[in-house]
Amino acid sequence: MNNKKFLTVQDMVLIAVFVAIITVCSFIQISVGLVPFTLQTFGVFVTAGILGTKRGTLAVIVYILLGIIGVPVFCGAGGPGVIVGTTGGYITGFIFTALIIGIITHFFEKSSTWLNIGATVVAMILGDVVCFVIGTIQFMFVMKTSLTVALGYCVIPFIIPDLVKILVATIIVNRMKKYVKILN
DSSP 18-71: HHHHHHHHHHSEE--TTS-EESHHHHHHHHHHHHHHHHHHHHHHHHHHHHHTT-
DSSP bridge partners of 37? 30
- Sign for the CA dihedral angle at 147, 152, 156, 157 comes to negative
Categorise residue 75: left if φ over 0, alpha if ψ from -120 to 50, beta otherwise. Answer: left
β-pairing verdict for 29-30 and 37-38: antiparallel
Predicted TM-score (pTM) of this structure: 0.92
Instruction: Tell me the Cα Rg of the chain.
Output: 16
CA 16 to chain centre: 15
Residue-wise pLDDT tens digits, 104-142:
999 988 878 888 899 999 999 999 999 999 999 999 999
Count other Cβ atoms within 10 Å, centred on residue 79. 15
3-state SS assignment for residue 90? helix
Q: Which CATH number fits domain 9-183: 1.20.950.20, 3.30.200.20, 1.10.1760.20, 3.90.1170.40?
A: 1.10.1760.20
3-state SS assignment for residue 71? coil
Residue-wise pLDDT tens digits, 146-175:
999 999 999 999 999 999 999 999 999 998
Residue-wise pLDDT tens digits, 74-112:
988 899 999 999 999 999 999 999 999 999 999 988 878
Mean pLDDT over each residue of the chain, to the nearest integer = 92
How far is the CA of 113 from the CAs of 104, 109, 180, in angstroms? Answer: 15, 9, 17
Rounded CA separation 87/33 (Å):
12
Count other Cβ atoms within 10 Å, centred on residue 5. 8
Phi, psi (deg, nearest 5) at residue 30? -130, 125
